[in-house]
Amino acid sequence: MNNEHVNCRKDLVEGGEGHHWEKNLKVRNRRRFAREKFVSVKMSLIVTALLPSVLLLLLSLPSSQAFVNPIDVITRDFQALTRKVTAHHILLPKSTDVALSLKQSIRNKVSPKSSDDPKYIVDVFSAAAQKYSRDEETAVRGGLLGTKVPQGYCRAKELDAACFKAPLGEIAGPIESEYGYHLLLVTERTNCSKLDGKYNKIIRDADGVSTKFVRGDSQEGSEEIQTVALQQVGFWMGVSLAGGVLAEVAAKAANVVDTLPWE
């Protein structure tokens, strides 16, 4: 009886229904494994492509800004790199009394309340720079540091920082640096909308004396910002698509799928 039972089981396995059932089970398991491997390969390629850039982005941000809109980050960084300023300065010896005295003197000559013959602020500041500034290079041009010069242009880092913090059209200082004390007058700034609002430039008003705030190139580079943002979005979409296609090709080459989706 035992031999007959063994022979019957052998027949079922080798040529009967049991053989077909085990074969179908193996096929189903093989296909399931192929699908799982395909998905795993695809996700691994996508993550591998994106992870380095994502990590660099997160590491470059403060912890409070680790989860922000990437386009906002691109825009902010682009603006920071393209900020420009037009400013005048007067370099004085390190004497608070001297700096404050000259600052008040310039204000008095500009204000109609303090002078019977008020002058335009840039004219008064430039004349004072030519007369009193110890920076010979800029004194000859009325203390002009530069016209629309980028952040980082000034040799004195304290003066450079003040160019992007001082109120527009007002005399700032004294600002201390290794060279001495500076008085500063900013006449135009670009890409500093949070500080200046929509008016980022001063000009001489119609009366020739008053200061008028106008809208200059406050959005300088806005088209470039949009272009960079779109390029970044397009790039990462392309990377994701390429990662998926590469995963499918790799899976086909490894014989884990029978056909590719487009075949």
Cβ-based neighbour number of residue 186 at 10 Å: 28
Among the residue ranges 7-21, 100-114, 195-209, the one predicted with the least confidence is: 7-21
Q: Are 195 and 164 in contact, with CB atoms under 8 Å apart?
A: yes
Task: Evaluate if pTM is beyond 0.75.
Answer: no
Contact indicator for 182, 174 with CB cutoff of 8 Å: yes
Asked if 211 contacts 202 with a C-beta cutoff of 8 angstroms, the reply is yes
The DSSP secondary-structure symbol of 258 reads S
The pLDDT of residue 130 is 96
pLDDT, tens only, 127-154: 999 999 999 999 999 999 999 998 888 9
Instruction: Compute the residue count for the chain.
Output: 263
CB-count burial class (<10 Å; 0-12, 13-18, 19+) for 18: middle
**pLDDT, mean over the chain:** 75
Is residue 201 helix, strand or coil?
A: strand
pLDDT of residue 215: 87
pLDDT at residue 234, rounded to an integer: 57
Check: CB of residue 150 under 8 Å from CB of residue 84.
yes
Question: Which pLDDT score is estimated for 94?
Answer: 93
Q: Beta-carbon neighbour count of residue 261 at 10 Å?
A: 8
Report residue 180's pLDDT band, with 50, 70 and 90 as the boundaries: very high
Contact 106, 171 (CB under 8 A): yes
Q: What pLDDT is stored for residue 115 in this prediction?
A: 77
- Per-state percent for the chain, helix, strand, coil, to nearest 5: 55, 15, 30
- Give the tokens for residue 256: 């884990």
* Highest mean pLDDT pick, 35-49, 57-71, 187-201: 187-201
Confidence of residue 113 (pLDDT cuts 50, 70, 90): confident
What was the pLDDT predicted at 218? 47
Lowest mean pLDDT among 106-120, 178-192, 243-257: 243-257
Would you state the pLDDT for residue 186? 96
Q: How many CB atoms lie within 10 A of CB 157?
A: 11
Q: What is the mean pLDDT of residues 227-241?
A: 57
Strand partners, 181: 92, 176
Which residues sit opposite 214 in a β-bridge? Answer: 201
